[in-house]
Amino acid sequence: GFVTEHADVIARFRVTAPQAVLDRILHLLGAGAAYAVGVEYNYLGGDAQVATQVVLHDVGAALLLRDPIGIQASSADCDALLRLVNVHNILCATNLSSAHMLVHVLRRGVTTHMGDVEFMPSFYESLESPAVSAYKAKQTAVIAAHTANATKAEANRRTRRTAVRPSVEEERAADDALPHTQEGALDGAIDKQAVANLDAGSPTNIDSGSAATNDAGSPTTIDARPSLNIDARS
């Protein structure tokens, strides 16, 4: 009844409907039947197919006539489709009264050259609900806050590591200073040994390749490191 009454207007648009419904109204669409799109039954995912068209900005208006009395298994799918229709701010009718009014708006839009965009804005440009911009701004603020917290936490970790652990330059400087310190201590030990020998009246010689022999005839070798021998002979 509804499609038959308004076939002259509906035939001017590309119609998307469940294939079972489309088969019954196809003869009313005239030349527009070639562009009609059939989808699955609502129970088998037809609403999800239309929702995809909505997300792809391929729907200008929607006539979603639901049974207000009976309980349907596809109610959740229809609710999801209606939510997306509202998100993208698409012209929509959900009962016969609003559907008749919407068809009159469409008739005026396609039969006159005045106010086409004004009467059918969602056919000419992609729209969105004002709630979308508010949602995007909120999400941007949340992401920025998490990024700032992560950056601050990383800076604090680096500060703690720097305070506890010396830098690479400090470790290298300490390693370079260590051999010189040991060698200086060794030179001081040699000087003290020489002074002790002189006080005792014994000559002191420092050789690089011979062993020291004491009064008993046994060699005495004082090794500070593998490449250095200190000999004290009488």
CB 230 within 8 A of CB 224: yes
Length of the chain: 234
Between 46-55 and 75-87, two packed helices, what is the crossing angle to 10 degrees?
10
Indicate if 176 belongs to the active site. no
Q: Which of 47, 176, 191, 223 is catalytic?
A: 47
| Tokens representing residue 203 in the block | 């000559």
Phi and psi at 159, nearest 5°, equal: -65, -40
Q: Residue 58: name the closest of 68, 49, 70 by CA.
A: 49
Active-site residues, by number, are 47
